[in-house]
Chains A and B, each alone.
Chain A
Amino acid sequence: MEGASSKGALNHLTFLEAQARSRKTGASQQKSGASQLKAKVEELKKQRDLLKAQIAVHQSLQKLRTSLDKNEDADVDETSENSKLLMLMVKHSQLKDVLLAHHLLGGYDVVKTNEDNSLCFSLPTAYQGTMLDTYHVEIDVKRTVRISRHNIPPFIDVESLAKETNMQENIRGFLDTLSLHLNAFSSRKHQLKLVKDLHKSVEVLESNALCSLLVLLLTIPKEKTALLCSLDYSDHTRSLPTRVSIKGEEKDLSDSPEWQKNIALLQETPVHEALTAMRETRHII
């Protein structure tokens, strides 16, 4: 009985001793913890000041950039060094954005329309220094990239071109291909018009709306016989024919040596110029 109670008392004593000991070390620990925390507070304060400074710079950059975008005079309210640096940074960011936009669009004229939901691209066409028709394509870009309207004639299939060039991911590729087709079509149409205007002695027997097929009736000066000249423009992206054949009344003259040069001429130069050259060398009237 005494042992149990003494044990209990001894135990209690050891327990109290241990407690007192731990309280002492706890106090010193607290002291070191406090200094640690103080150091951390300093560090965090420094970080906060740095971030605040960054935010201030960013805000002033934004302000300068918006005023630059609107072409207003930027109001400078900081020390001269800082302001110059800020202006440079702003102009740099603006140039980078413009370059990115240019790269995306490929240099076509674009106008935002429909409350910024679609873009309207203009595709001008030209041939030999003459400006021809301008075509427009309006593309909806808000949710999916799709064509909403255009003024391209129906024999040039715009939807299938969009599918082939993967317009969803690469608007530039689509626009480049479309521009190629349109320029080639306009130039072929223009060549046909020039042939009709300049060469009254040449009769246009057949042509089609896409101007991909042309059959002309030429006359030889000496014998006054007629020649059938057919030009096949099967590559719709080129303004020169892919195949030329000349047929006389009885035989096919494509292989005869005297006409080889003319055939080569028709394949390499535009139709109206080739006809003028042929007229000058007295091959045709």
Chain B
Amino acid sequence: MDDTARRLLQRLVRRIPSQLLKPTLEKWGRLKRTQLDSLDFSQSKYSLTEKLLSVCEENGSSIKHITELELLYVIDNPVAGKWHAYQFIDPEDDAHTVELMQFKEQFKSHLTELVQNVSIKMKKHTDEAVWIRLAWGQSFSRPNHFKPTYVVYHLQSPYVFMTSMNSKHRPLLSQALVLATRHQAVKNANLSGKLNAIRDLVMRQYEHVFPTKFPSNISENNENTKNPNIKQEQEEQSSNRLQMACEAFGGGKLPEIQSAVYNLETKFRGHAKNMEERGGPFKCVVTFSGTNILESLRSCASSGIASTPVTPVLSSIPRKGRNYFLMTDNNPGSSQTQQQQK
């Protein structure tokens, strides 16, 4: 087992929390039962690492197997850092019939044509997503396994999610993906954050609320409804506000989007000294951040802090599925949101 593999394994054992180590190793399936049993998971990480290293040396595990283990761990616990969403546009006629083996082969062949020395590992997860782990290498150096890029793609859907990578490699990866999925181009969807959150937002996997003839009972103040002696003043208005807030953002549990950035390049229209002299656009960045901004925006709207009907500036986060906006003036007296093309 060479040096890189050993170092990777050490880093991996340090990264994986102790309680998840055993199930991940079991899922990996490359250790014999006796070897797995011989590992004592209550030991300190350091001694565990040593033991695991010696076991893998016995089995002759190579870097390929270690990367497999890492991919398995990441699938179950997506990297908490930033994932970015990209959208494919202009599908070719046979984009809908691309099946797994074809996609895998095409992607591998295209990417290896474009980039020398890249290590690709693909795995199909049970929820129909294809996970790809890429380690980039220069023309004469071996792939760097310590800074891999992960790509998640659901077949036949127009979205693909990637972690950060070198800006040199991004256009090559995009090209390989576009060719393998039979589309004509891919564009930045201006959405980033935790994988599960952005995936649920874009695939519409949360509860939408629409106006219907038979309104469901969204009861707000549960404590008050239990006590018949307490009656809410303005009950109708507050249930209206709640309905509109839920229509704009969704009902139930919302995807955990953690930041929204509005990049303003509009003219300053207030009355302040020194500002009127500047003719050009006033550049300003507004950032909302929190543990779950969609929930907080929804409760702002339902409690009346934000006016209802919810302004499209805020409701475009779930509706358009993005959290980066560039707002410019197209004609005086109006401002529109535009997409930022990278």
Q: Identify which of residues 116-151 in chain A touch chain B, using a CB-to-CB cut-off of 8 Å.
A: 120, 122, 136, 138, 149, 151
Complex alpha-carbon distance, A5 and B68, angstroms = 138
B297 interfacial by beta-carbon distance below 8 Å: no
**A152 to B319 Cα, complex, angstroms:** 12
Task: Tell me the B91-105 residues at the A interface (CB within 8 Å).
Answer: 96-97, 99-100
In the complex, A113→B244 CA distance in Å? 11
Interface pair B157/A234, CB less than 8 Å apart: no
Bound: A185/B205 CA distance, A: 16
Question: Which residues from chain B contact A43 at a C-beta distance below 8 Å?
Answer: none
In the bound complex, residues from chain A placing their C-beta under 8 Å from that of B204 are: 151-154
* Segment at the interface with A among B19-27, B49-57, B141-149, B207-215: B207-215
B39 at the interface (CB under 8 A from A): no
CB <8 Å contact, B156 and A212? yes
Query: Inside 8 A of A236's CB, which chain B residues have their CB?
Result: 96
- B45 on interface, CB distance cutoff 8 Å: no
Given A153-B204, A154-B202, A234-B97: A209 and B210 interface contact (C-beta under 8 Å): no
Residue B2 at the A interface, CB < 8 A? no
B121: Cβ under 8 A from any A Cβ: no
The listed residue (B97, B210, B309) touching A122 by CB distance below 8 A is B210
Instruction: Please tell me if B275 contacts chain A, counting CB pairs below 8 Å.
Output: no
Question: Does A210 have its Cβ within 8 Å of any Cβ on chain B?
Answer: yes
Cβ-based interface call for B128 (8 A): yes
CB-based contact A113/B128 at 8 Å: no
Q: Which residues of A contact B157 (CB under 8 A)?
A: 153-155, 209-210
Enumerate chain B residues within 8 angstroms of A207, measured Cβ to Cβ.
Answer: 128
Pair A206/B124 contact, Cβ less than 8 Å? yes
| Given contacts A208-B156, A209-B154, A209-B157, A153 and B203 within 8 Å (CB-CB) | yes
Binary flags per residue of A181-210, CB closer than 8 Å to B gives 1, else 0:
000000000000000000000000011111
Contacting pair B208 A136 (CB below 8 A): yes
Interface string of B34-65 (1 = CB under 8 A from A): 00000000000000000000000000000000
> For residue A212, which residues in chain B have a CB less than 8 angstroms away from its CB?
96, 156
Verify if A109 is at the interface (C-beta below 8 Å from B). yes
1/0 per position for B70-107, CB-CB distance to A under 8 A? 00000000000000000000000000110110000000
Interface residues of B: mostly helix, strand, loop or mixed? Answer: loop
Instruction: Decide yes or no whether A213 CB sits under 8 A from chain B.
Output: yes
Chain B CB within 8 A of A220 CB: no
Q: Which residue of B lies closest to A160 (CB)?
A: B91
The one of A149, A155, A206, A234 that contacts B100, using a Cβ cutoff of 8 Å: A206
Q: Tell whether A111 is near chain B: CB-to-CB under 8 Å.
A: yes
Contact, CB under 8 Å: B208 / A151:
yes
Q: Is the CB of A151 within 8 A of B97?
A: no
Judged by a CB distance under 8 angstroms, whether B137 is at the interface is no
Contacts of B97 in A (CB 8 A): 234
Q: Name the CB-closest residue of B to A208.
A: B155
Separation of A152 and B100 alpha carbons in the complex (Å):
24
Chain A residue nearest to B130 in the complex (CB):
A208
Are A120's CB and B124's CB within 8 A? no
* B212 contact set on A, CB distance < 8 A: 109, 111, 120, 122, 136
Q: How far is the CA of A153 from the CA of B201 in the complex (A)?
A: 10
| Residues of B contacting A111 in the complex (Cβ-Cβ under 8 angstroms) | 211-213
Instruction: For A155, list chain B residues within 8 Å (CB).
Output: 154, 156-158
Q: Are A154 and B203 in contact (CB under 8 A)?
A: yes
Asked if residues B128 and A209 are in contact (CB atoms below 8 Å), the reply is yes
* Residues 13-36 of A at the B interface (beta carbon under 8 Å): none
> B residues within 8 A CB of A154?
157-159, 202-204
A190 to B227 alpha-carbon distance, docked (Å):
42
Residues of A within 8 A of B213 (CB): 109, 111
Docked pose: A208 CA to B126 CA in angstroms: 10
**How far is B127's CA from A209's CA once the two chains are assembled, in angstroms?**
8
Q: B156, A149: Cβ atoms under 8 Å?
A: no
Chain A residue numbers with a CB within 8 Å of B202 are: 154
Complex CA–CA separation, A210 to B99 (angstroms): 12
Query: A117 → chain B, closest Cβ, in Å?
Result: 11
Cα(A154)–Cα(B199), bound, Å: 11
**B99: which of A113, A151, A206, A209 is its contact (CB, 8 Å)?**
A206
**Could you say which residues of chain A place their CB within 8 Å of the CB of B158?**
154-155
Given contacts A149-B319, A151-B204, A154-B203, contact A210 B210 (CB under 8 A): no
- 17 A-B pairs, CB-CB below 8 angstroms? A120-B210, A120-B212, A149-B319, A152-B204, A153-B204, A153-B205, A154-B158, A155-B158, A206-B99, A207-B128, A208-B128, A209-B155, A209-B156, A209-B157, A210-B96, A212-B96, A234-B96
Sorted nearest first, the 5 A-B pairs with minimum C-beta distance are A151-B208, A136-B210, A155-B157, A208-B155, A210-B156
* Extra inter-chain contacts (5) besides given A111-B213, A122-B210, CB under 8 Å: A136-B210, A154-B202, A154-B204, A207-B128, A208-B99
